[in-house]
Homo-oligomer: A and B are copies of this chain.
Amino acid sequence: MQRVTMMDVAKLAQVSPSTVSLYLRKPAAVSPAAGQEIARAISTLGYVPNLVAGGLAAASSKVVSIIVPSIRNAFFAETVSTLQSELAAEGLQVILGHSEYGEDQEEALVRTALAWAPAAVVLTGLSHSPETRKLLRASGVPVVEMWEIGGEPIDMAVGFSHPQVGASAARHLLSKGRRRVAFLGARMQEDHRAAKRASGFAEEIGRTAGTASCAIINHPGAATVEAGSLLLNRAMQQVPNLDGIACSNDLVALGALFECQRQGIAVPDKIAVVGFGDLNFSASCIPSLTTIRPSGDLIGKEVARLILTGIDGGRPAGASRVIDTGHVLIERRST
In the complex, whether A23 has a CB less than 8 A from a CB of chain B is no
In the complex, whether A95 has a CB less than 8 A from a CB of chain B is yes
Among the stretches A33-41, A75-83, A269-277, A301-309, the one at the interface with B is A75-83
Q: Are B281's CB and A281's CB within 8 A?
A: yes
Q: How far apart sit A2 and B135, CA to CA, in the bound complex (Å)? A: 11
Contact of A52 among B61, B261, B262 (CB under 8 A): B61
**Chain B nearest CB, measured from A58 CB (Å):** 10
Known: A1-B139, A226-B283. A93 touches B95 (CB 8 A): yes
Q: Write out the residue numbers on chain B whose beta carbons fall within 8 Å of the beta carbon of A111.
A: 48
Interface centre among A72, A98, A141 (most CB of B within 10 A): A72
* Closest Cβ neighbor of A283 among chain B residues: B226
Contact of A254 among B3, B52, B228, B281 (CB under 8 A): B281
Q: Write out the residue numbers on chain B whose beta carbons fall within 8 Å of the beta carbon of A71.
A: 71, 77, 80-81, 84
Among the stretches A114-122, A148-156, A177-185, the one at the interface with B is A114-122
Contact of A96 among B56, B96, B115, B141 (CB under 8 A): B96
In the complex, whether A144 has a CB less than 8 A from a CB of chain B is no
* Closest Cβ neighbor of A131 among chain B residues: B46
Known: A226-B284, A283-B226. A2 touches B59 (CB 8 A): yes
Q: Write out the residue numbers on chain B whose beta carbons fall within 8 Å of the beta carbon of A56.
A: 50, 52-53, 56
Q: Write out the residue numbers on chain B whose beta carbons fall within 8 Å of the beta carbon of A98.
A: 81, 84-85, 88
Q: How many copies of the chain does the oligomer comprise?
A: 2
Q: Write out the residue numbers on chain B whose beta carbons fall within 8 Å of the beta carbon of A265.
A: none
Q: How far apart sit A60 and B50, CA to CA, in the bound complex (Å)? A: 11
Q: How far apart sit A229 and B280, CA to CA, in the bound complex (Å)? A: 13
In the complex, whether A233 has a CB less than 8 A from a CB of chain B is no
Q: How far apart sit A141 and B74, CA to CA, in the bound complex (Å)? A: 32
Known: A70-B81, A95-B93. A284 touches B229 (CB 8 A): yes
Q: Are B72's CB and A117's CB within 8 A?
A: no
* Closest Cβ neighbor of A224 among chain B residues: B280
Q: How far apart sit A283 and B254, CA to CA, in the bound complex (Å)? A: 12
Q: Are A1's CB and B251's CB within 8 A?
A: no
Q: Are B226's CB and A255's CB within 8 A?
A: no
**Chain B nearest CB, measured from A104 CB (Å):** 13
In the complex, whether A241 has a CB less than 8 A from a CB of chain B is no
Known: A52-B52, A72-B81. A112 touches B96 (CB 8 A): no
Q: How far apart sit A255 and B288, CA to CA, in the bound complex (Å)? A: 12
Q: Are B93's CB and A80's CB within 8 A?
A: no
The 8 listed contacts between A and B (C-beta, < 8 Å) are A1-B114, A2-B59, A52-B55, A72-B77, A80-B96, A94-B97, A225-B280, A251-B281
Q: How far apart sit A59 and B56, CA to CA, in the bound complex (Å)? A: 13
In the complex, whether A160 has a CB less than 8 A from a CB of chain B is no
Interface centre among A61, A115, A225, A255 (most CB of B within 10 A): A115
